Amino acid sequence: MTNDFRPSTADSPSHSLSLRWISLLGVAIAIAALCVWRIATNQPQTYEQQLQQRKVERPAPAFEALDAHNEMFRLQRYLGRHRVLVVFHNADAAADPGLLAVREKFNELDRLDIKVVGVSTALPQQNRAAMESVGEYPFPLVSDVDLTIHRRWGRLRAGTGEPLPGAFLVDRKGMVTVVADQPFAYTDVAALVKELIQ
């Protein structure tokens, strides 16, 4: 009886070489797929997206100031109980488009329990004169003649110290979004109001 030993094709050098190539091809496909996925999900960020990642929440800077009727307004009475829209506007309340947009949609904001306060460098009597011109504002307009509130909220132009318009949304916990150690301002007040009431 002859002992006929024939090596199986599985043990042959050409077969093990084929298995190595198949394994390498599989690894290469997996790496290529991973690279494609990484490129697709790691697109360059827009400026707004970069800002979004740098945002943190901090307590809103409280303030007190005289309103148009020479009464002391304290932001603290809203903080921690309501959402608050703080609108920095130019000194002429009768002509500021952002402030007028807020006034137009005030009832809808009020239904959403969003309190509103306007801040400018105008004196109380100037705010009263503006209201005599365009009608009463259903929310306080406070005076920040010495720019203390503007400074605390980061609404002064670097270099010139010129007051800047803008709006801030304070949440129910009394927190405001902060970017680079300054509260984050929405520069398009009308767009912010539209977004809030949708």
The structural domain count of the chain equals 2
Q: For residue 63, give the nearest of 125, 191, 1, 151 by alpha carbon.
A: 151
Walk along the chain (198 residues) and give the pLDDT tens digit of each residue. 555 555 555 556 666 677 788 888 888 898 888 877 777 777 666 656 665 666 689 999 999 999 999 999 999 999 999 999 999 998 788 889 999 999 999 999 999 999 999 999 999 999 999 999 999 999 999 999 999 999 999 999 999 999 999 999 999 999 999 987 888 999 999 999 999 998
- How much is the pLDDT for 13? 62
Is residue 111 a part of any domain in this protein? yes
**Cα radius of gyration (the chain):** 31
The single-letter DSSP state of residue 160 is: T
- How much is the pLDDT for 5? 52
- How much is the pLDDT for 11? 57
- How much is the pLDDT for 32? 85
Residues 62 and 37 in one domain: no
Residues 187 and 95 in one domain: yes
Is residue 165 a part of any domain in this protein? yes
Residues 33 and 70 in one domain: no
- How much is the pLDDT for 151? 95
Residues 37 and 72 in one domain: no
94: domain CATH number is 3.40.30.10
Residues 168 and 70 in one domain: yes
Coil, helix or strand at residue 184: coil
- How much is the pLDDT for 6? 55
Q: For residue 116, give the nearest of 57, 168, 174, 50 by alpha carbon.
A: 168
- How much is the pLDDT for 27? 84
Residues 23 and 81 in one domain: no
Residues 68 and 30 in one domain: no
Residues 104 and 29 in one domain: no
- How much is the pLDDT for 119? 97
Residues 98 and 15 in one domain: no
Residues 18 and 88 in one domain: no
Is residue 135 a part of any domain in this protein? yes
Is residue 3 a part of any domain in this protein? no
Is residue 4 a part of any domain in this protein? no
Is residue 49 a part of any domain in this protein? no
Is residue 1 a part of any domain in this protein? no
Is residue 98 a part of any domain in this protein? yes
Bridge partners for 117 per DSSP: 86
Instruction: Give the residue numbers spanning the domain of 87.
Output: 56-197
- Rounded to an integer, what distance in angstroms lies between the CA atom of residue 84 and that of residue 63? 13
Residues 69 and 33 in one domain: no
Residues 32 and 60 in one domain: no
